[in-house]
Amino acid sequence: MRTPSNSILAYIQAKDGNRPHLMSHAFAEDATLAIVVNTGNIAFPPASQGRDSITEVLVRRFGQTYENIYTFCLSVPPKNQEPEFVCDWLVVMSEKESRAVRVGCGSYHWIFEAESHLVERLAITIEAMQALPPHDLGGVMAWASSLPYPWCSAQTATDGAPNLADLSAVLAYLGRKIT
């Protein structure tokens, strides 16, 4: 039986692994996506309608630009068939062309269909997106690959973060609920 947790996992596997075929396990055919960007260093269309359009934005185009993608939901997975789920997220990735590192964070607001538990609506808010030089790739990827994937607490993520000034905005956002 499909659950909201399965749908979220399918989305993360599709996006992080550049596997568009998995989006049918995550999103309803007529799903909607809204993206609010509260930072520089990244751009997305503010709205997408339909699974094909969402797949184009969040998987195909994203995968053309980024690699080494790790997306973490900073929460425990939804345990029941809840119609709605909100959590913070952390993403770590590198740019294919420049090899620069990107570390970002924000929140997800998921609405699921009652019967299928596929995503009916997703709102993504991007609060911070830090760009780091390519020489930071090894340390940042060592951190990301050591975290529980894809469900991780904000505390665990911040505790193991590399000591880099360029991560300050991301770590401040993640730490706002910890302190």
Three-state DSSP at 38 gives: coil
Distance CA 58, CA 50 (A): 12
Segment 138-165, tens digit of pLDDT: 999 999 999 999 999 999 999 999 999 9
pTM here is 0.94
Q: Is the pLDDT of residue 179 over 50?
A: no
CATH number (3.10.450.50, 3.40.50.1980, 1.10.1200.10, 3.30.460.20) of 4-175 reads: 3.10.450.50
pLDDT at 42 (0 to 100):
83
Residue 43 confidence class, pLDDT cut points 50, 70, 90: confident
- Nearest one of 38, 5, 28 to 121, comparing CA atoms: 28
Three-state DSSP at 168 gives: helix
Mean pLDDT of 18-42: 95
